[in-house]
A and B are shown apart, each in its own frame.
Chain A
Amino acid sequence: MAQWPNLRPEVASVHAERMDHLFFFLTGVTLFFTFLIFGAIFYFMIKYRRRSETERPPATRDSRILEITWIVIPSLICIVLFFWGARLFFAAFNPPQGAMEIFVVGKQWMWHLQHPEGPREINQLHVPVDVPIVLTMTSEDVIHGFFLPEFRIKRDVVPGRYLSEWFQATKTGTYHLFCTQYCGALHSGMRGTLEVMSPTEYAEWLRDNATAESMTQMGRQLFTRLGCDTCHLADGSGTGPALEGRFGKPVTLASGESRVVDESFVRQAILDPGSLPLPNYRPVMPTFRGQVNEEQILQLIAYIKSLGSSERSQTP
């Protein structure tokens, strides 16, 4: 038996609460002006209804003041709305430092979620409450969208790129996860749940679902299995540069361009090394496109990140 719907989705984060404030303000503005206009129309319709066929109302004079008023007031409202919305948006996409990273790979038609400690989930994500979580997301195939309505956030998940969004749950519970960018036949089935648990429960869950390796360890295994370690020797004497301490630092390419070694850079280096030639190194790194999927790339990135980002190493 279908029940009467809620009018408001649950509020599961501070951002959700703040967005709702803006939403309600907008609702107020909308209802105000809608009723104002409808009201004026009804009032005029009745008060000035045509009483005889030969009626010829006299012309009313235009009013410059009125025009200016109803340009200025809506403009002011719009300015307020713009700044409010822009600031909130900026905060919505700027995670705090030290947020817990979860990796998301969307593919037709399911979500693969990976915790750094190792556990992997499909269409379900367990996270602790009151901890900022940042989701780093990419797609194996088409554009998807990762939507958490109770948190009022979503972002498209685009192949070939890493896009992120973050949230911090304020209440434990089970929440919706929807795919929100049409992605083909079973788009409406690409749904799941977000399970927010207390810290102790979360620790327990991690233990119960522990895998033999963490992401970093899985990444190291891949690094060896794919032969990366034959060229990228730790002492820098190999055909390729040493990767210790490189993550997060800038690097200068052969063209003179400067890039930061972030997730996107590492992904590009793995899939299309020819596009990132380095000075002092021959461009002989083969591409690994087709040999690694997006999840494995994320594991390799986790491993490379773990190779220390605090020590400075010599630039080549």
Chain B
Amino acid sequence: MSTAVAEVPVQSQVHYLNANYGIKSWLFTTDHKRIALLYLGSITLMFFIGGAAAVLMRLHLIEPAGALVQPETYNKLFTMHGVVMLFFFLVPSIPATLGNFLVPMMIGARDLAFPRLNLLSWYVYITGAAFTLYALISGGVDTGWTFYTPLSSHYVTTHVIATAMGVFITGFSSILTGLNFIVTIHKMRAPGLTWKRMQLFLWSIYATSVIFVLATPVIAIALFLLVLERIFHVGIFDPAIGGDPVLFQHLFWFYSHPAVYIMILPGMGVVSELVTCFSRKKPFGYIFIAYSSLAIAMISFFVWGHHMFVSGQSVYAGFIFSALSFAVAIPSAIKVFNWTATLYKGSISYDAPMLYALGFIGLFTMGGLTGLFLASMATDIHLHDTYFVIAHFHYIMVGGAVMAYLGGIHYWWPKITGRLYHDGWARFAAFVIFIGFNLTFFPQYMLGYLGMPRRYAVYPAEFQVLNVMSSAGASILGVGYLIPFVYLLWSIRYGPIAGSNPWQSTGLEWKTPSPPPTENFEVPPVITGEPYGYAEPEHARV
């Protein structure tokens, strides 16, 4: 096991969790670590809401004629599933929880550049979530998370405005978080911490933050214009006055494509940390992994049209988007190869975080490669708007991002709480999640190729067998997600004390006690060497 250290782990008397008590000390905190926990609570709630919608959907799809709800309700379920999972879970997940907690610690600072802005970000997030939950409770919205016009602007009678406003408001939370990270990483690194000495998690958070600040405003304006069009019944997307509904798609996808990189880049950063720690090796090709994060962020802004090959976009624009979509796959491939090479001649342990990281690498590879089917224009004609696309993005988002998120939560849990969780249960849960996930989503590739369109509440009987397989897998996956909830919470009270560095990692964040004091470092560290010094005798660089 990984906690065998000569001395007994201790926990300091005063740390960030018990420095103050009372609800006000949490709701008015400016400590980045407490804010990270506020986010953790809120996004977990949103995850279970989005997950509940998914459970209902998969139960419904057992029968070709629909087993559970009316088509109108099903349409609301898949819309809410998309909106909640994307905007309120995936986008904030790693940056707002692990990022907030770790960025100052990894650069040797006491807090982020703008702690009060950080707290404001959380309140903005909560406000946006409140709008969306209001829409959910008062009847839902049924436009799909993509809100295409003119369906959403002129035809549906559901709560588009409340939902769009919710997403609009939460977007500002992302922008402020990204702004905070960019300034912090630029201006507050500890003495001696050059860019090329930063841990890879920081590189990916930085790249993510660039996308946050540049892409999110565009969806803000797209939704804003949609809301205006819906309220005043005039607008620039209405064909009756010469408006172009496809313009909405351009504005929407200009954000939403980079957004998917917001969702995956932090996960890649987590995986870099996990793979190195649990093979006790520095990352193979550090500079390639670091720069590939930036390359992904930059190229991601220029590929949005690959969602629109068949929507009436010019074929020549399509060529450019297709070529660039292939280009953006290359940096991801670079990472996968480098992570795998990091394992070579390492000392690999099978702790739960590592299982999640390795699962990520394999599933992200498959998910990413199925993206090539969609980047290639001719195959996209057939596969667009079918279950193939659903399988593709769930492989990346769930098989990738969520597994990286869980891996990160498990890895840094001892630092955050000062406790260890039960590793046996953790590995079991990782295994259940991996199996359940593949059973759920692999059949969907086949369904898509066979032609089953997405967003179908009822479907032809010939697709039933694959749908039932997928639903069976989903039930396993659902159970898999509940298990960590139980043992992690249990460990807070009853888990063994972790000590400052139970995994014997070289990361700067592990140089503090667990849980850390409010100010993180008693003495600001000075960095004198390269990161990931596992091969060095004491592997310490402070």
Contact = CB atoms under 8 A, between A and B. Distances in A.
Interface of A: 2-9, 18-19, 22-23, 26, 29-30, 33-34, 37-38, 40-41, 44-45, 48-51, 53, 55-60, 62, 66-67, 70-71, 74-75, 78-79, 81-82, 84-90, 92-93, 108, 141-143, 145, 147, 149-150, 152-156, 158-161, 163, 176, 178-189, 191, 272, 275, 289
Given A22-B378, A275-B242, A82 B449 contact: no
B376 A37 contact: no
Given A78-B326, A85-B377, A180 B384 contact: yes
Given A5-B466, A149-B451, A29 B378 contact: no
Nearest to B351: A50
Given A41-B340, A59-B534, A78-B329, 7 more contacts: A44-B340, A66-B285, A70-B334, A74-B330, A84-B378, A180-B385, A187-B455
13 contacts: A34-B365, A40-B340, A44-B344, A50-B349, A60-B344, A66-B285, A67-B288, A74-B330, A82-B323, A85-B375, A142-B154, A147-B385, A147-B451
Interface string B45-83: 000000000000000000000000001100100000000
Contacts of B390: none
Interface string B135-171: 0000000111010101100111000000000000000
Contact of A48 (B75, B348, B450): B348
Scoring B376, B386, B446 by chain A CB atoms within 10 A of each residue's CB, the highest score goes to B376
A5 B463 contact: yes
A30 B372 contact: yes
A186 B347 contact: no
A163 B246 CA distance: 13
Interface stretch (B304-312, B401-409, B509-517): B304-312
Contacts of B454: 182
A9 B11 CA distance: 62
A55 B288 CA distance: 27
Which among A9, A26, A189 has the greatest number of chain B C-beta atoms within 10 A? A26
Nearest to A72: B330
Contact of B310 (A5, A55, A86, A156): A156
Residue of B75, B330, B379 with most partner-chain A CB within 10 A = B379
Contact of B333 (A3, A7, A74, A152): A74
Contacts of B535: 56-59
Given A30-B366, A56-B535, A159-B239, A78 B372 contact: yes
Contacts of A185: 71-72, 75, 142
Contacts of A153: 381-382
Nearest to B468: A2
B341 interface: yes
Contacts of A183: 151
B234 interface: no
Contacts of A145: 310, 385, 453
A289 B458 contact: no
B362 interface: yes
A107 to B, nearest CB: 11
B399 to A, nearest CB: 12
Contacts of B370: 30
Contacts of A150: 451
A152 B381 contact: yes
Decide if the interface of chain A is mainly helix, strand, loop or mixed: mixed
Nearest to A155: B310
B33 interface: no
B446 A89 contact: no
A26 B379 contact: yes
Interface stretch (B222-230, B276-284, B424-432, B481-489): B276-284
Interface residues of B, number: 98
Is chain B's interface secondary structure helix, strand, loop, or mixed overall?
helix
Contacts of A41: 340, 343, 358, 361-362
Given A37-B336, A44-B343, A57-B345, A62 B285 contact: yes
Given A75-B330, A86-B322, A182 B144 contact: yes
Shortest 8 CB-CB contacts between residues of A and residues of B: A149-B451, A160-B239, A85-B376, A88-B378, A89-B377, A59-B535, A78-B326, A44-B343
Contacts of A154: 310, 381-382, 384-385
B302 interface: no
B450 A9 contact: yes
A41 B354 CA distance: 11
B16 interface: no
A60 B284 contact: yes
Interface in B519-536: 534-535
B19 interface: no
B72 to A, nearest CB: 5
B114 interface: no
Given A60-B281, A75-B330, A85-B379, A189 B344 contact: no
Interface centre among A4, A159, A275 (most CB of B within 10 A): A159
Contacts of B286: 62
A182 B326 contact: no
Contacts of A6: 450, 462
A79 B330 CA distance: 11
A185 B69 CA distance: 12
B361 A184 contact: no
B464 interface: yes
A38 B438 CA distance: 14
A150 B462 CA distance: 14
Contacts of A90: 315
A55 B280 contact: yes
A207 B535 CA distance: 84
A89 B315 contact: yes
B151 A74 contact: no
Contacts of A34: 362, 365-366, 369
A189 B71 contact: yes
Contacts of A93: 315
Contacts of A272: 242
A176 B386 CA distance: 14
Given A7-B446, A41-B358, A60-B344, A71 B330 contact: yes
A40 B338 CA distance: 12
Interface in B348-370: 348-350, 358, 361-362, 365-366, 369-370
B327 A78 contact: yes
Contacts of B495: none
A45 B343 contact: yes
B373 interface: yes
Nearest to B79: A182
Contacts of B380: 85, 89
Contact of B75 (A23, A81, A87, A187): A187
Nearest to A175: B451
Contacts of A156: 310-312
B71 A182 contact: no
B451 A176 contact: yes
Contacts of A108: 155
B23 interface: no
Contacts of A57: 279-281, 345-347, 534-535
